[in-house]
Structure 1
Amino acid sequence: MDKLVKKVKVAFRTDASVQIGTGHVMRCATLANYMREQRFEVYFVCRAEQGNLCEWLEQAGYTVLRLDASKPLDQARDAQEMKLRIEELGVRPDAIVVDHYGLDYRWEEAMQSITGRVLVIDDLANRRHACDLLLDQNYNEDLQNRYADLVPEHCRLLLGPAYLILRPEFYQAAGRRRTRDNHIRRVLVFFGGSDPTCETLKALEAMDSITNRPYGVDVVVGSANPHRFRIEQMCSQMGIQYHCQIDYLADLMAEADLSLGAGGVTMWERCFLGLPSVVTTVAENQIASTKAAAHFGAVFWIGWHEQVQPANYLHILSNVQEPTHRWEAMSVKAKQLMASDRTEPGHSLIDYLKST
């Protein structure tokens, strides 16, 4: 009987910063929220980098153990400090979920002495892992073979967009989704929580050159964006709707006819809702999946951020009504890619933890 009522304890090791963005923490928080609904006991371990989301997580009701960020990340030191913090908390986790590009099998092996399971969220497939389960929710043309030599034989693999970690509002928005045509009435601009390459400012500079825009615009930034106050001022001057650190992004995506954004998790959220998007890759880990999605016809990739200038955004935004863009066909392909006729979130990882 005690076993039936015992709470599963899960520790998340992930980071957010101005430099690496907020995507890792945001998707872990989404997963943690689902776990909490299942009465899991969840806490986070994060480095206190500039632009971290520790306070945001605490406001959401989670315990956050902060790691020292005064020195560059070192796997051995990070593992040792995490062990100490967990010991201080006095809770042995049944599983540790790690979503971090700077950690690999060496860190994961060190965790096995303090937990029953190590679960990895990854999409790079560029390093070895010592884990029991690996989740890669991205689309890739060679997805089934990417981790062949990178994980132990016993590791369970959850691969592809069918395992995308989506917040509940995206399923609600999917229930209201409409068939889009080639007429653009509203444009959404969102380049991630921190937007380290300043794509939002580039896009606004381009829009400022367009007189009598035939569409409305919503600009979204995160609280980790160091230029958010300048962006807010520009939006006010240009008559553009400004949104900061919101919880209704899915609604804005559902209302939009076209989006400008980066690759990564938010690209898949747009695809899930069938929102055509012009994608700029702002991190190397986004390139392969964005290329694959563009080849499928689900997005329009305009290139690497260093080569994308305001003039590139201006060309797109000045000609969005041109029939050659075929936004309607892109919307259909995006939904096909994401299998977005599903109505319930995939709980495969949670089910795995409950069964072990």
Structure 2
Amino acid sequence: MIFIRTDSNNEVATGHVMRCITIADKLIKYGEKVKFIVKDVDTVNLLDGKFEYINIPVDNIRTIYDEILYIKYIVNSEQNAPKILLDLYIFDAEYMHKLKTFAKVISFDDMFNEYLPIDLLINYNPHYTVYDYHGRYRNKNIKLLLGMKYVPLREQFEKLSSKFHKDVKNILLISGGGDKEHALLKIINEICNKNMDLKYKFHVIVGILNEDVAIFEKIADNKNIVLYNNVHNMAELMQQIDIAISAAGTVLFECCKMQIPTIFYCMADNQEDVVKGFGKDDLMLYAGDIRFIDQQVPAHITQLIEYLDKNALVREEMIMRMQNKIDGKGAERIAKEIIKL
């Protein structure tokens, strides 16, 4: 049995749960049993009845450390040598050290804040090289999975890519499952103020935790804007996209795999390092941090759309830089390493 401890809510992006689901699918494919351990009801909704899960009771759990005894009871009642995959930024070295007393521990780590006493560490971001992982974990019995070969994309992305069109017609706009900065709303308002919907068709992915759905529906009425609430095959949709606009999250890896010229923005502290990776060598175009009004990110995004539209050669060069960066088999590689522990 492999347990996965993760969550998603209005404060925590859905990307954590979604990449865990992708890895869980591969583990099950290889004959492993998987069970999620969660606290938030939003996480249960994302699991969509496809996976077993156990709810941690919120009563009497004041800190993350209070839940460890409960997790120990859960995993030891089901298996003598359990493995636990962690995917939340709140889990620190102390939490992981306590888990290590009764389980093998796997965790993502793209922050490099402290030494983590775990068995398997994953950082698939292109900027991982700015940190000395090999130095920190030298002579430690910890397996490191570093680089974009470990990007856990859904299977639908493995064999697809978008098609280049000289004229820009279809533009994708997405911010993630939630959107506490109301980034989509800010960008859409700027697009409409400049009447850009008269020239382009905007495909807007509204995350399931987004609070602005009703506003989007009013704005999209009589506009060349299509709203999507639940896209089952994102790769298929991306095949028709000429330019993507996204927050600096998991979607950037999907855009890279699909070879879509992409404009991206930052909306959280943990995304700041992502800028270093995807913004390097103009792999993608960075529009700024949307949390800061003085950066005028929505206006910058519309300027970059016009720039890419007028410069087909620039888009072709971006596509060429994306080729072969990601092969879509990262989740499979991670699953195999977890099984080998």
1:99 pairs with 2:83: no
* Alpha-carbon distance change, 74 to 252 in structure 1, aligned in 2, over 3 angstroms: same
Alignment of 1:353 onto 2:312: no
Equivalent residue, structure 1, for 2:203: 218
Shift of residue 263 of structure 1? 0.7
Match of 1:55 among 39, 45, 48: 45
Tell me, yes or no, if the aligned pair for 1:130 and 1:151 is still in contact at 8 Å.
Answer: no
Write the letter of the residue equivalent to 1:82.
Answer: I
Shift of 1:140: 1.0
Contact between 2:259 and 2:319, CA under 8 Å: does it hold in 1? yes
TM-score, normalised with respect to structure 2: 0.89
**How far is 1:154 from its partner?**
1.0
* RMSD across aligned positions (CA): 2.5
C-alpha change, 1:305 and 1:91, in structure 2 (3 Å) is: same
| Unpaired runs of at least 5, structure 2 | none
Aligned to 1:12: 4
Alpha-carbon offset, residue 63 of structure 1: 1.6
Percent identical:
20
- What is the aligned partner in structure 2 of residue 334 from structure 1? 322
For structure 1, the 5+ residue unaligned runs are 1-8
CA-CA distance at 1:120 after TM superposition: 0.9
Note closer, same or farther for the CA distance 1:114–1:331 as it changes in structure 2 (3 Å cut): same
Q: Is the aligned partner of 1:239 residue 2:206?
A: no
1:249 and 2:234 correspond = yes
Read off the aligned partner of 1:67 and give its amino acid letter.
I
Q: What is aligned with 2:298?
A: 310
> Any idea what SS the aligned residue of 1:118 has?
strand
1:289 maps to 2:274:
yes
**Compared CA separation, residues 170 and 258, structure 1 to 2 (3 A):** same
Q: Which moved more, 1:314-323 or 1:283-292?
A: 314-323
Amino acid at match of 1:12: I
Once the two structures are overlaid, the 10-residue window that deviates more, 64-73 or 38-47, is: 64-73
- Cα deviation, 1:269-293, whole Å, max 9, x if unaligned, reads 1111111111111111211222232
Count matched residues: 337
Give the Cα–Cα distance (whole angstroms) in 1 for the partners of residues 73 and 78 of structure 2. Answer: 10
- 3-state SS of paired residue (1:255): coil
Q: Distance in 2 between matches of 1:73 and 1:139?
A: 36
User: What is residue 160 of structure 2 aligned with on the other side?
Assistant: 173
State the distance in 2 between where 1:158 and 1:273 align: 23
Per-residue deviation, residues 295-322 of structure 1 (Å, max 9, x unmatched): 2221100111123443333333455422
Relative to structure 1, the CA distance from residue 345 to residue 123 in structure 2 (aligned partners, 3 Å threshold; closer, same or farther) is closer
Q: Helix, strand or coil: the match of 2:4?
A: strand
Distance 1:141 1:77 in 2: 32
Give the corresponding residue for 2:122.
Answer: 135
Q: For residues 313-341 of structure 1, what are the alpha-carbon distances to aligned partners after superposition, in whole Å with 9 as ceiling and x for unaligned?
A: 333345542228812211221235x2x4x
Partner of 1:27: 19
2:279 counterpart SS class:
helix
**Is contact 1:13-1:97 (8 Å) kept?**
yes
Q: 2:69 pairs with 63, 67, 80, which one?
A: 80
1:266-285 to 2 correspondences below 5 Å? 266-285=251-270
1:126 maps to 2:110: no
Shift of 1:189: 0.3
Question: Quick one: distance in 2 between partners of 1:228 and 1:127?
Answer: 39
Find the counterpart in structure 2 of residue 4 from structure 1.
none
User: 1:24-63 CA deviation, whole Å, 9 max, x = no partner?
Assistant: 00000010011111121101111226xx221331522x12
Residue of structure 2 in register with 1:43 after alignment: 35
After superposition, give the CA deviation of every residue in 1:99-137 in whole Å (9 maximum; x if it has no partner).
11111221112112332x211112111122111111101
